[in-house]
Structure formats: structure tokens, C-alpha cells
Structure 1
Amino acid sequence: MRPPETEQRQATPERVVARLRRHGRRLILPAIVLIGVAGGAAYASGILLEDWQRWALLGGSVLLVLLACLLPFLSWLAGRVTITDRRVIVTNGVFVRVRRELPLRRGYDVTVRRTPGQRMFGSGDVRIDVGRDRPFVLKDLPGPELAQQALHELIAGAPSVAPLQPAQTDADTVMWGQR
């Protein structure tokens, strides 16, 4: 026989508190490479005399854009952290999808670690110590203090965490308590 608390938890739907992606600063270098390749290819195509040289330049430029710009963008786009009132879900991977879940039933220690670069951009790592050798780390989240506060309230079971409105759940990054 199940305890009444378990039956009540299963009867209420799971509410999404926040959907997050890693900070967008990871895309600065691919954007610079894209601008440089476009400018360099345009300049070099005017200098090159033979058609095969232009085709080789075009092929090299496309390959460089695919590897240095498109793959990092897809990697960033594929990674997502979803915080619900019952668990934390981390998904990532471009070609092979990996999904990790952490139930929030037990009490965990939640800390924020910020490097000087992360502090400049307003991001940080949220570390959830689950009692194992490797902690559950949510890397480079925008607004890590808000995520930490939401996780503390969810772990403590505080009913004050308001769910997001259905129209707001489509955004790439939605922080708890904002919008």
C-alpha cells in the first residue's frame, strides 16, 4: 500500500518552474569565426585567378563554418535544464541525446560557483551535492542565484514557487519568478 503523500503527488501534475540553457557567451567565438570566414572568403575570392581555387576556397570556407560555427551552435541549442516542482532534468547532446534526472525528494546541498568571467556576464555553475563522488552540476546558467533560491524552496517543499504560465514555457531561457 502506498502512503497517502505518494498518491497525492502522483495525482497532481508536475509543474515546470524554469527552463534554462547555458549562457549564450559560448557563441561569441563561433560568431567571430563566421564573420572572419565570410570576410576572408569574400576578399580571397577576388584575388584568386583560377576557378578551381575559388571552388577550393568555397569548400574550405563551408567546412570551417560547419565545424567551427554550426556544431557549437547546435551543441548549445541541444542542451537544456528543466527545473520542475519534483525534479531537475538535464538534456544535452547533438547526435546522441543524454538525459539526466535528479528527484528533489531528498534534501540536497545547493551551492553556486562563479568564476570572474562568469561574474562579468551574470552566469555561474549551480552545484547540487547528492551524496555521491560526482555532484550534479548545472553548468554556466544565467542568473544562478535565482536557480539556487528556487531549488532551495523546492527541496524544502515550500508551496510559494509559482508555475510558469503556459504561454511563457516556449522561451529558450525562462527564469523562476521573472517575466
Structure 2
Amino acid sequence: MALPQKLLSKDEIVVRHMRTHPKILLWRSLVVIALLAVGVVASILFPDANWRTGAVIAVWVLVVIAVMPAFVVPWLRWMTTTYTVTSKRVITRSGIINKTGHDLPLSRISDVQQERTITDRMFGCGSLSLQTSADEPLVLVDVPDVEMVQVEISNLLFHDVEGAVNADPDD
């Protein structure tokens, strides 16, 4: 879901709207698959007895309870964390129940740095640090295609909105 038009000024253009990279969900998906396998194996291996139905139900209840913190909560956190680069500012929004947001005007950015670990490079993402002259930097973690986002923000800092919008040939 893109940023609503009502939150933008009349001549503000959305250059890029993105979520954090979904790499955090990869390992959690493997955990869910393992939990489902445990549930299936336990359901098959329980001996036929009076208590079998109750035991199978108990195992699946435990699987569902384990899936919540292992996958559902991180997935909700991923779904609700967005970064938006517009022609005037960088906007961050996050939160499942309590929402937090940060708007950083482009005019306050003095330096744009990126950091990519080896795993970030494998997944094509990285962290972007937007330094201002007054505050701690705003760090955007797990930014997909971080190099292109850095180019777009740099173009915007030099007042080249068209260059920022057209920076990514895939869009």
C-alpha cells in the first residue's frame, strides 16, 4: 500500500515507496516449515489410543502457538514498516499497534551513506544512513536495492527530481 496522497503536499512526488527487505522472513519460514513437519509427524506417530485425538489437538495447538512469535509477529512488523522517498522528504512508518513515523526533509540531509554486509549483498539490500548536521543519522535498515535508492536521494539533493524518478530503469 502506497503512501496516501492526502499525506503529500500538492507538488510532492513519490519517487520510491518500499518495505524493508523480506529476508528476515526467510529463516522464519523455515522455522514454520519445521514446526509443521513436527505437527504432521506427531499426528502420524501417535499410537491409536483413547487419548490420541486429544494429543493430536494439543500438538497442533502448540504448533499454532509457536508459529505466532516465530512468523506472524515478524511478518506483521515487516508489513507495517515502510520507507518512502519523495521529492521533498524521506518518510518512515512502522508499528503494528503503536505507530511511529519520521519525516526527514531532504534539505536537512548533508550526507548519504550505505552499508552492505555480505548477506545484504547476497540479498540485494543494505542499510542507508542519512546524516543531518544537527541530529543522529536516520538509519534505514534492510533497504531493497540500496544502491539505487542512494542514487535517487543524491539526485534529489541536487534538485534533480526527474533524474531521481528515472534513476531506476526497471521502474
> Is this a same-fold pair by TM over 0.5?
yes
SS at match of 1:45: helix
CA separation of 1:104/1:161 partners in 2, compared to 1, >3 Å: closer, same or farther?
A: same
| Structure 1 residue 148, shift from structure 2 partner | 0.7
Contact 1:17 1:176 in 2 (8 A): no
CA separation of 1:106/1:143 partners in 2, compared to 1, >3 Å: closer, same or farther?
A: same
Contact 1:123 1:140 in 2 (8 A): yes
Corresponding position of 2:16? 18
Normalising by structure 1, report the TM-score. 0.81
Give ranges in structure 1 of 5+ residues lacking alignment. Answer: 1-9, 165-174
Deviations 1:44-87 (A, max 9, x none): 01222422211211110110111111111111111100000000
- Distance in 2 between residues matched to 1:133 and 1:16, nearest whole Å: 25
User: How many residues are matched?
Assistant: 160
Corresponding position of 2:90? 88
| Structure 1 residue 107, shift from structure 2 partner | 4.4
Pairing of 1:121-160 with structure 2 (within 5 A):
121-160=123-162
SS at match of 2:108: coil
SS at match of 1:161: helix
Letter aligned with residue 40 of structure 1: V
Corresponding position of 1:58? 60
CA separation of 1:90/1:176 partners in 2, compared to 1, >3 Å: closer, same or farther?
A: farther
Pairing of 1:24-103 with structure 2 (within 5 A):
24-49=22-47, 50-103=52-105
| Structure 1 residue 133, shift from structure 2 partner | 4.9
Is 1:178 aligned with 2:153?
no
CA separation of 1:111/1:60 partners in 2, compared to 1, >3 Å: closer, same or farther?
A: same
| Structure 1 residue 99, shift from structure 2 partner | 0.8
| Structure 1 residue 131, shift from structure 2 partner | 2.3
Corresponding position of 1:120? 122
SS at match of 2:157: helix
**Superposed CA RMSD:** 2.1
Bigger relative contact order (CA 8 A; separation at least 6) = 1
Identity %: 29
Normalising by structure 2, report the TM-score. 0.85
Deviations 1:97-136 (A, max 9, x none): 1111101123420011111111121111110111245210
